Structure 1
Amino acid sequence: MSATGFDAALATLAAHALPLGQESIPLSKAGRRILAAPVLARVDAPRQDSAAMDGFALRAADLAGGCTRFRILGESFPATPFDGSVGAGEAVRVATGAPMPTGTDYVRIVEEAIVDGALVSFATPSERSAVRRLGSDFASGATVLEAGRVLEPRALVAAAAADAASVTVWRRPRVAVLAIGEALVAPGSAADSASPHALPDSLSEAILLLAHQWGAKPIGQSRVGDAGTSIRAAAAELLAGCDVLVLVGGASRGRREDGMAALAPLGLEMQFADLAIKPGRPTCYGRIGAAHVIALPGNPTAAMTIARVLLVPLLTGLAGRGIDAGLRWVELPLAGGAPQGGGRDRFLCAESVGAGVRILDRESLNGQALLTRADLLVRLPATGPALPHGATVPTLRF
């Protein structure tokens, strides 16, 4: 199978990363989920003409007639409205959200009022009435939130105000990680290992967290050696409960047989292998039945880079947002320039510098400490001259 360009790989992912299905869940558990159906209002908002601010409800006709002094009849609150009617020269103290008393159609805010016992007066004219009209926010039956919306806190305000007890959302992709390598041990175990070659598994938790940040549901991880039978057994166990299996260290030029090829007896159908990009050339993607399998390099920087540019859009597609939701490129000016093309599209670690971006030392590619500084990725074309300071480049939040 020949090397696949990045854009071709994305097109392949887009063809496979279809939403997993819908489910109805309580609003209390819907935070950060993706709407699969619109939220329709079950009530008007507000449900009646009401005070937009604390103040005094009165008749606009009195103000137009020059009246500036009013007799206070009582008070109105959201849950205990004033139950009388208001006539000429009369007013009712109202709290924010309180229904407008019968006979009133205007609210003067409390900051403009001069209260003297049972009387209230206004020394200055009013510029506008502090009244929210029935259904002025949205009417019963109106679409409050469109399908595809992420239910972040502001969206939850609207959904709750629409009186939605539950919402229909896309199912979250379930993600598992299988780390491959004889030397890998759980973080915290390497220093105490009998083997001087023991290495902390630095990627599994990071990949699961990245998946969680982009709307997936982490369901587990495992570590195995290089034997194909061990890889296959561990993968089969994880595949029983996941939608996406990520192999870490299962894609490298010399260990392909230990990674994806070990899954062939499980029915793996490869969609691409070898990418014409740097880093991450040995990255592979395939399907085992309904499940998606992506193999990342074992190099931490390369693995996190490929996870960001390929795993993330796969997850956003499966979660109902489309793959483009995971790749919001922003053009920023370079601080310090960029190297000329090297025959493959490049995704380089970079850091924000003021309003621009600086590419980090490429010689540190194998270092994990580099990742603590990198908050952006820069995409550079396969061909072309070196770019000068100030040239704009596409960047991606890392």
Structure 2
Amino acid sequence: MISFDEAVALVRQLSQPLATEQVPLDRAAGRVLARPVVAPRTAPAFPTSAMDGYAVRDSDLAQAPVKLRVAGESYAGRPFGKRAGPGTCVRIFTGAVVPPGFDRVVIQEQVGQSNGLAFFDRTPSGGRHIRPVGSDFFAGEAILPAGIVLTPQALIAAAGADVGEVCAVRQPRIAILATGDELAVPGTAHLRAGAVPDSVSVGIAALAEAFGGAVVLRLRIPDTLEALESGADEALACSDIVVVTGGASVGERDYARDMFRGHAMQPVFSKVAMKPGKPVWMSRAGARLVVGLPGNPGSALVTARLFLAPLVAGLSGRGAGLAWQWQSARLGENAPEVGDRETFYRGQLHEGRAVFVGNQDSSAQAALGVSRILIRRAAGAGVLPEGREVSFLPL
């Protein structure tokens, strides 16, 4: 059994980004850029109106009030397309090309129109309401740096540069094997005596995806070695990380490790001196990683947040450190003394202070549902009074 910090160090070593691949932009949300996005075109590529109004020459409005003939219209995507001489103006709309020779756009609220003539009461001043060529970016300019997560706003920037695909770090593929005769699809457990809803794999799948993974397989497998070995084979064939929930105890039907006996497994760690989650383990199977989580929901979620989330974040290119951003807060109540293992309490922030949720049992699910943070306390620590600082990790 190793310490929590030792386990963290081992996970960090394994959390290196996967290979890169070209990804169509409409499937790139949440991915990590492996190379900068360089604009292949200038934006705007032509002078563009920033308002609805009339394109005019300053020289024509120098002696306002004045009437100008409306030579035509310019729409976004449908430019005026002709030359208009002095003494004329062009009706123009936001995003449309400003015809050559025109100096500014006068907003439509300041212009009257009748019988093909536009009326200008005064000489305009101030903003010209024209976006110059390249005012956003120029061709060849790097508009998104490597290493960022492709957020909705980043995708807009890439698409606006007329980029159709990006080079991104490959998403880690996650297979989740929920083991146990008792497990049933949530919503159906009441139909079978002794059945328990499989709540753990639902939460673990959501957590893995939140940190950059793609869940490609979820299986519920009964406690027979033949079924478990078959599930292990299928999972290893399609994933980068296999997550096994349950079967990590010492009962005569706990086969979490035996199910991989047909594969060359190299242990990373087998137990961690922590509470909850002592039975958590990790191994390598060739290029694949196998993470064994306890079957109790609280233990499973805590260990997944502490070890699986950083692993997924690292492989996805986000960096394992993203999932280990410890923060501090003052206690809103006394913290109990700690036993002989480092302990992670489920809690919340109330008015900026860390408080504990009621039921800390590893099987508790209602309390887990309202938990927002993990409060970390060292093994053997005594009672810590209200108002003292503690470290916590957002859930």
Q: TM-score, normalised by structure 1?
A: 0.88
CA-CA distance at 1:341 after TM superposition: 4.3
CA-CA distance at 1:211 after TM superposition: 1.9
RMSD (Å), alpha carbons? 2.7
Q: Which residue of 1 aligns with 2:271?
A: 274
In structure 1, distance between residues paired with 2:277 and 2:65: 76
Q: Which residue of 1 aligns with 2:356?
A: 359
Q: Which residue of 2 aligns with 1:221?
A: 218
In structure 2, distance between residues paired with 1:52 and 1:387: 60
In structure 1, distance between residues paired with 2:196 and 2:376: 31
Q: Which residue of 2 aligns with 1:148?
A: 147
Q: Which amino acid aligns with 2:368?
A: L
CA-CA distance at 1:298 after TM superposition: 0.9
Q: Which amino acid aligns with 2:39?
A: A
Q: Which residue of 2 aligns with 1:299?
A: 296
Q: Which residue of 1 aligns with 2:174?
A: 175
Do the aligned partners of 2:332 and 2:350 also contact (CA within 8 Å) in 1? yes
Q: Which amino acid aligns with 1:36?
A: A
Do the aligned partners of 2:345 and 2:360 also contact (CA within 8 Å) in 1? no
Q: Which residue of 2 aligns with 1:316?
A: 313
Q: Which amino acid aligns with 1:374?
A: S
Q: Which residue of 2 aligns with 1:244?
A: 241
Q: Which has the larger displacement, 157-166 or 202-211?
A: 202-211
- Structure 1, unaligned stretches of length 5 or more? none
Q: Which amino acid aligns with 2:78?
A: T
Q: Which residue of 2 aligns with 1:120?
A: 119
Do the aligned partners of 1:350 and 1:360 also contact (CA within 8 Å) in 2? yes
Q: Which amino acid aligns with 1:154?
A: Q
In structure 2, distance between residues paired with 1:314 and 1:49: 48
Q: Structure 1 pair 191/51, CA: closer, same or farther in 2 (3 Å)?
A: same
In structure 2, distance between residues paired with 1:157 and 1:292: 35
Matched, 1:209 2:213: no
Do the aligned partners of 1:58 and 1:86 also contact (CA within 8 Å) in 2? no
In structure 2, distance between residues paired with 1:90 and 1:133: 22
Q: Which amino acid aligns with 2:345?
A: L
CA-CA distance at 1:337 after TM superposition: 4.1
In structure 2, distance between residues paired with 1:355 and 1:93: 56
CA-CA distance at 1:123 after TM superposition: 4.9
- 1:257-272 map, 5 Å: 258-272=255-269
Q: Which amino acid aligns with 1:281?
A: K
- Structure 2, unaligned stretches of length 5 or more? none
Q: Which residue of 1 aligns with 2:191?
A: 192
CA-CA distance at 1:261 after TM superposition: 4.8
- 1:1-398 map, 5 Å: 2-5=1-4, 7-60=5-58, 65=62, 67=64, 69=66, 71=68, 72-85=70-83, 90-111=88-109, 113-117=110-114, 118-123=117-122, 126-193=125-192, 196-252=193-249, 258-382=255-379, 384-398=381-395
In structure 1, distance between residues paired with 2:330 and 2:59: 60
1:257-312, CA deviations, whole angstroms, 9 ceiling, x for partnerless residues? 63225534411101112112221111111110011100011110110111112111
In structure 2, distance between residues paired with 1:36 and 1:83: 41
CA-CA distance at 1:90 after TM superposition: 4.4
In structure 1, distance between residues paired with 2:299 and 2:338: 18
Helix, strand or coil at the partner of 1:45: coil
Do the aligned partners of 2:333 and 2:386 also contact (CA within 8 Å) in 1? yes
1:162-195, CA deviations, whole angstroms, 9 ceiling, x for partnerless residues? 11122222222111122223333343443333xx
In structure 1, distance between residues paired with 2:253 and 2:320: 27
Helix, strand or coil at the partner of 1:172: coil
Q: Which amino acid aligns with 2:323?
A: G
CA-CA distance at 1:315 after TM superposition: 0.8
Helix, strand or coil at the partner of 2:277: coil
1:321-361, CA deviations, whole angstroms, 9 ceiling, x for partnerless residues? 11122334444443334334444333221234344442212
Q: Structure 1 pair 8/120, CA: closer, same or farther in 2 (3 Å)?
A: farther
In structure 2, distance between residues paired with 1:123 and 1:355: 57
CA-CA distance at 1:54 after TM superposition: 1.7
Helix, strand or coil at the partner of 1:286: strand
CA-CA distance at 1:24 after TM superposition: 1.5
Q: Structure 1 pair 121/151, CA: closer, same or farther in 2 (3 Å)?
A: same
In structure 2, distance between residues paired with 1:297 and 1:56: 69
Q: TM-score, normalised by structure 2?
A: 0.88
Q: Which has the larger displacement, 345-354 or 272-281?
A: 345-354
Q: Structure 1 pair 52/295, CA: closer, same or farther in 2 (3 Å)?
A: same
1:26-79, CA deviations, whole angstroms, 9 ceiling, x for partnerless residues? 22222222222222212111011111222232334666x564545143322222
